[in-house]
Amino acid sequence: MVNKLKICLIAPDYPSKIGGVEIVNWNLSKEFGNQGNEVHIITLCNVHNIKINIPENISIHHFSIYRLHNKWRLFSNFFFILEAIIYIVRTSLLLISIKPDIIQAQGPIEAIPALLVKLLKNIPYVLTIHGNLAHPDANPGPGMPRIIRKYWAHLPHIKYADRIVTLTQECKIAIYEVLHRNADIIHNGVDLDIFTSKSGYIMQTYEPKILCVARFDVIKGLEYAIRAMDEVCIKYPRAKLIIIGDGEQYETLHTLISRGNLSYNVLLLGSRPNEEIPKYMQSSHLFLLTSLSEGFALTLLEAMACGLPIISTPVGIAPEIINSWNNGRLIPFMDPDAISSTLIELIENPDLCHLYSQNSIHAAKEYSWSSVSEKYLCEYRSVLNKKIN
């Protein structure tokens, strides 16, 4: 049995920002280090420019790639491939110099250098697929040639990972359908020291606050949340929909709010650092997720840890959690009427919301990062024991 491990995380986005994968990278590396393992991070982010304390037992290996494909659109395919080759070569060389016991690839692209080093140095790697492998979001960017995008999921760096980990049952099924191999499910976690519930949850029917935390992107379905407020505000004129995030849809959403005379009721707060999110959750009464697709939906866990009842489309982990823990309601996709009727029903039922709040708190305790990291370490030890045997 292997005890303490030398683990290398290939994590282009590190440390934590508002995005889900960045938060995963940050918390996993901290927990691995806290358990006495030697942790190395290969990242494209310059952590020296970020005001955050990196634990001493985490070694950061940073390099930058100049993004030419964004500046020279005419030659974007060529520059995209060039940048990818540079990234793969530099990451592979770093892996060889680090000599880890095991490599954790935090996405399919990160698995390419991991596969090369496995072939060269016989170092195994675990690949985590954070989204649905059959969904376009799981494929490489538009700069990649079409033929590669078409067969992306079947290429060796994904197919021949020593172990594949994914986040939900839906993703596990998609991986089996595409690759005809099993994946292990390890849910993401939540920092229970940061995301905490306020004492004595009470639904405030006079001025209910509904919170969304999402990118301003079509895939997040925020327009349906805004349209739903038309009906909600007829019955509860002081109701507030608070949306934290930023993105390309800002002007579209702002126009929708203005045309619906909802400027008082719908607030676009822009992006906020992850450490500020708990205070918004603790001052809200309901958490709303209207996405059309999600890999995991980490914000659901964070909202649950803060004691919020959940209203969500059936994406990511939402169906598993809501059906298992009875802490909210599932709503259909792209349906403002269903959203508004569900919001009104919960606002009118403070006792039910209190039950959902308590169930959210109990459910969140099952998803601590220490528990998640231990599951990953079990995967690593299993892979290494198989290699020895």
- Is residue 373 domain-resident? yes
| Global confidence as pTM | 0.84
Contact partners, residue 259, CB within 8 Å, separation at least 6: none
Same domain, 178 and 164: yes
Q: What is the pLDDT of residues 236-253, one digit of tens each?
A: 999 999 999 999 999 999
Name the band, by pLDDT with cuts 50, 70 and 90, for residue 3. Answer: confident
pLDDT digits (tens, 9 = 90+) for 333-347: 999 999 999 999 999
154 with 28, same domain: the answer is yes
Q: What percent of the chain has pLDDT over 70?
A: 88
What is the mean predicted confidence (pLDDT) over 365-389?
93
Residue 103 clears pLDDT 50, i.e. is over it: yes
352 domain-assigned? yes
The domain containing residue 63 runs over which residues? Answer: 6-189+368-388
Judged against a pLDDT cut of 60, whether residue 198 lies above it is answered with: yes
CB contact at 8 A, 237 and 253: no
194 falls within a domain: no
| One domain for residues 174 and 225 | no
Examine residue 163 and state whether it is found in any structural domain, yes or no. Answer: yes
pLDDT > 90: what percent of the chain?
A: 69
Residues 246 and 295 in one domain: yes
* Of 142 and 312, more confident: 312
Which range is most confident: 15-24, 132-141, 159-168? 159-168
**What pLDDT was estimated at residue 291?**
97
Residues 278-300: tens digit of each pLDDT: 999 999 999 999 999 888 899 99
Phi then psi dihedrals of residue 211, to 5 deg:
-115, 135
Question: Is 214 in the same domain as 295?
Answer: yes
Q: Read off the pLDDT of each residue in 184-206 and give the average, rounded to a whole number.
A: 92
Residue 39 has pLDDT above 80, yes or no: yes
In a shared domain, residues 133 and 236: no
Same domain? 178 vs 219: no
Note the pLDDT of residue 153.
Answer: 67
Number of domains the chain is built from: 2
Mean pLDDT value across residues 118-147: 75
pLDDT value at residue 136: 46
Flag whether 164 is in a domain.
Answer: yes
345 shares its domain with 373: no
- Type of residue at 290: T
What's residue 69's pLDDT?
46
The answer to whether residues 136 and 261 belong to one domain is no
- Per DSSP, 190 falls in state B
Q: Is residue 203 part of a domain?
A: no
What average pLDDT does range 193-217 have in this prediction? 93
Would 320 be classed as within a structural domain? yes
| pLDDT value for 141 | 55
CATH number of the domain enclosing 103: 3.40.50.2000
Identify the pLDDT of residue 137. Answer: 46
Indicate whether 222 and 166 sit together in one domain. no
Higher pLDDT, 110 or 23: 110
CB-based contacts of 95, cutoff 8 Å, min separation 6: 8, 10, 42, 103, 113, 114, 117, 121, 123
What DSSP assignment string belongs to 67-85?
-GGGT-GGGHHHHHHHHHH
CA atoms within 13 A on the CB side of 222: 30
Give bridge partners of residue 184 from the DSSP assignment: 165
- Residues 152, 241 share a domain: no
Query: Which pLDDT band, with edges at 50, 70 and 90, does 115 fall under?
Result: very high
- pLDDT for 2: 52
pLDDT of residue 130: 85
Across the beta sheet with 184-185, the strand order is 58-62, 38-43, 6-10, 102-105, 125-129, 163-166, 184-185
**Stretch among 42-56, 79-93, 96-110 having the lowest mean pLDDT:** 42-56
In a domain, 1, yes or no: no
| Shared domain check, 305 and 372 | no
Average pLDDT over the chain, rounded to an integer: 89
Contact residues for 108 (Cβ-Cβ < 8 A; gap 6+): 127, 129, 138, 140, 152, 153, 157, 158
